[in-house]
Amino acid sequence: MYFLKHTILICTMLLLTACSTKTSKQIVADLWSGWEKAEVQMQTDYPDAVPLILVHGWNGGEGTWPAPYQLIALENRLHRDIYLFTYRTGVFSNRYPPLEVLEEQFNAYLKAYDKVDIVAHSMGGLLVRHYLSHHTSSPIRRVVFLATPHFGTNAARVLMRLGTIGSEGNIQATEIQPGSDFLWQLNALGGSELEGVDVLNIYVAEHSLLNSDFVVSPVSAHLPWVRNAIVEGMHHTLAQQLDKFEMIFEFVQHGTLPEGVQPPERKDAWFRFESEGVLLRLAENTFKVYDGKGHLSKKYNICCKIRSGLYDIAGKKTVVVEGLEPGMTYQYTSHRGAVPFRVSSDELMNSDQSVVMRLLKLKPESPAMPGMVPNQDIPED
């Protein structure tokens, strides 16, 4: 049902963008008008001011943001130039590079500036975080994340199917699945990549059918190491209405942060198993989940079926549990036939994180009775 809902939603949005009641002459006139204003907007008017760079998300582009005339008005209000960083992304399979490769393009783009502020929408926020994880010295002063899937989105599975007629999928979509190797490596940094940068993270809470994100859940969008704020809207309207949010204006202009919000009530969990420094591959015959009555449960996913990071080859390394429930037991049985290794949901739910990440290590010196090195939480501070 979850997959079907997202499939219908995304297909509907694609169809709506294709519909128009305008004549061809009106469409051409609008296009010329838009490009003329875009040319004016991209010119440098405030060379001595820190520019604002807008970074779009998956399948995005210039149309992600307010119309050129609106951006011109915002430039005049900010007394700063606004530039758009665009990159290759879309629904077609194997046409677009992974985020690790796009980082190099972003790095080259930023070399033209001594200092910048950034607003990044959706997957664009992951690109910015990945860049910062490899550049301790960068021109980035302030960052606004808008509806960024910091811990992935289940809609990525829909995007993969839309983007291919084969089994290989869309590379960028594989990287933004919950539990992907790309997201594990990024979030394992515990927010250290954001040190020295002022950050405001904004997302939509689930309120109603007309005021929800549908693409990125609050659990994924909440970034535990920075100031978080909630606004009304939907996934794509946040970027298109950028010029309407006073909190963004105050932050990029003065560094003023709004009052923060508490993490979502729901808790998710990601965990991996390791032996002798090697991540263990997961399968139905080696990994099982039991409810409080000892019955087998299917309330989990294993990520990922195919490669989900530049240095990830094997796949199927991460257990993803959405919505932890009391009394659940997660069990890994070694391929050596050793005594099962278990972790309980009650223990995981004690964490302060919305998404609990744990790397669980089996002791190699006792294959007949595998114990556990004390559970290693991903750093929270």
Residues 144-173: tens digit of each pLDDT: 999 999 999 988 766 665 544 444 457 888
Q: What is the pLDDT of residue 93?
A: 59
Distance CA 133, CA 217 (A): 24
> What integer is the mean pLDDT of 42-51?
90
Mean pLDDT of the chain: 83
Distance CA 205, CA 203 (A): 7
Q: Which two tokens stand for residue 296?
A: 């087998």
Statement to judge: residues 228 and 311 lie in one domain:
no
pLDDT of 17 over the 50 cut: no
Indicate the number of domains in the chain. 2
Statement to judge: residues 125 and 29 lie in one domain:
yes
Statement to judge: residues 226 and 327 lie in one domain:
no
Statement to judge: residues 79 and 219 lie in one domain:
yes
Distance CA 139, CA 284 (A): 47
Of 204, 219, 254, which residue sits at a domain end? Answer: 254
Phi, psi of 200 (to 5 degrees): -125, 125
Statement to judge: residues 350 and 302 lie in one domain:
yes
- The winner for highest mean pLDDT among 5-19, 151-165, 243-257 is 243-257
> What integer is the mean pLDDT of 40-62?
90
Asked, for residue 23, whether it belongs to a domain, the answer is yes
Asked, for residue 330, whether it belongs to a domain, the answer is yes
Domain span including residue 13: 2-254
> What integer is the mean pLDDT of 78-103?
87
Give the strands of the sheet with 329-332, arranged side by side.
Answer: 287-290, 329-332, 341-344
Higher pLDDT, 93 or 109: 109
> The domain that contains 220 carries what CATH number?
3.40.50.1820
Q: What is the pLDDT of residue 35?
A: 63
pLDDT band, very low/low/confident/very high, at 339 (cuts 50, 70, 90): low
Higher pLDDT, 378 or 232: 232
pLDDT of 380 over the 50 cut: no
Q: What dihedral angle (degrees, nearest 10) is formed by the CA atoms of 102, 57, 184, 173? A: -90
Contact 204, 229 (CB under 8 A): no
> What integer is the mean pLDDT of 164-188?
81
pLDDT digits 0-9 by tens, 209-225: 556 778 899 999 999 99
